[in-house]
Amino acid sequence: MTTPLETFPEGDTLTAIALDLPFDVIVWDDPVTLMTVVTRILMKVFAYPKQKAYRLMLAVHEEGRAVVWSGELNKAEAYCVRLHASGLLASVEPSS
Amino acid sequence: MSMPFDRTVDSIRVDLSREIRRYVSGLAASVLQGTRDGTHPFAHRLAAPITVTKDQDDAFLVLARTDVIATAAQITESTAFSEELTLDEAEAWFDTLQVGCQALSGSLRVTIPQDLDRLDPDDRERLRLAQDLLSFLVDVLDEPPCDEEN
């Protein structure tokens, strides 16, 4: 079977393919941020309904981190910037 | 502290002591300074990596983040002694208090809940005050506006 990397051996194209892979926006738990604040920020940044934001907040709280969004790298980075600007610990990494 | 914010249709009345307003102003000033001075105790947390697999984040993204944080901090600092906030100004307070709370905890090396126990009482109080104000702001920003005719 041919993998995408074998199909496009050129450096620039490889980069483009890599950028097309999904990336996760991760929110990390911390000891000072209130649960209500995390929920509100997720609603504000992603326009999630309260129930979804609350469920994701609980996942962050209980597991130490949670994937709150997945998709294109540039959008993931833009979301991460907004999360940082709202005061949440967040990062972007390739989807596993 | 009793509820210090009261929402109308398009604004929020603020009932805070001068001491707490000075705290809000000072925290906003520290956030602003942290965006401008890489040696400020807040700077490290404000410059957190975005994409962990990259050696260096896109300079445009870093600039955009700094600009958003600094703008909210400036609005907060300039309205810290206002009797009334627009909803946008209240959102700036919310973001700045949360960013400030995060950056302050980072500067105090608080990474796990047990770290809070070793803080001196003044530092613990500074964090608690930010949390209290944030909690009140969540309530007031999310509540439906009251009908002033009733």
The three-class DSSP label of residue B18 is helix
Q: What is the pLDDT of residue A21?
A: 85
Digit-coded pLDDT (tens) for B41-53: 999 999 999 998 9
Chain-chain contact of A91 with B110 (C-beta, under 8 angstroms)? no
Q: Which candidate, B129, B40, B145, B23, places its Cα nearest to that of B76?
A: B23
Position B146 confidence tier, pLDDT thresholds 50, 70, 90? low
Digit-coded pLDDT (tens) for B47-79: 999 998 998 999 999 999 999 999 999 999 999
Chain-chain contact of B50 with A34 (C-beta, under 8 angstroms)? no
Residues of B with CB under 8 A from a CB of A: 46, 48-53, 57-58, 61, 64-65, 68-69, 72, 94-95, 97-102, 105, 110-113, 115-116, 127, 131, 134-135, 138, 141-142
Average pLDDT, chain A: 86
A41 contact B CB<8A: yes
Other beta carbons within 10 Å of B84: 13
* DSSP-assigned states of every residue in A5-69: HHH--SHHHHHHHHHHS-EEEEEE--SSS-HHHHHHHHHHHH---HHHHHHHHHHHHHHSEEEEE
Q: Which candidate, A85, A35, A25, places its Cα nearest to that of A57?
A: A35
Phi-psi region of B84 (alpha: psi -120 to 50; beta: other; left: phi over 0): beta
Side chain identity at B48, as an amino acid letter?
A: A
Digit-coded pLDDT (tens) for A9-36: 444 444 544 557 899 999 999 999 999 9
Digit-coded pLDDT (tens) for B111-141: 999 999 999 999 999 999 999 999 999 999 9
Position B2 confidence tier, pLDDT thresholds 50, 70, 90? confident
Chain-chain contact of B102 with A92 (C-beta, under 8 angstroms)? no
Q: Which domains does chain A have, with CATH numbers?
A: 21-94 (3.30.1390.10)
Q: In what order do the strands lie in the sheet with A23-28?
A: A65-71, A23-28, A90-94
Digit-coded pLDDT (tens) for B4-17: 999 998 999 999 99
The continuous run of DSSP H or E covering B114 comes out as helix B113-117
The Cα B40–Cα B70 span in angstroms is: 14
Is residue B110 over pLDDT 50?
Answer: yes
Q: What is the pLDDT of residue B150?
A: 41
Residues of B in contact with A88 (CB under 8 A): 98, 102
Where chain A has pLDDT below 50, the residues are 1-14, 16-17
A34 contact B CB<8A: yes
Q: Which residues contact A67 (CB under 8 A, 6 or more apart)?
A: A24, A25, A26, A95
Q: What is the pLDDT of residue B147?
A: 56
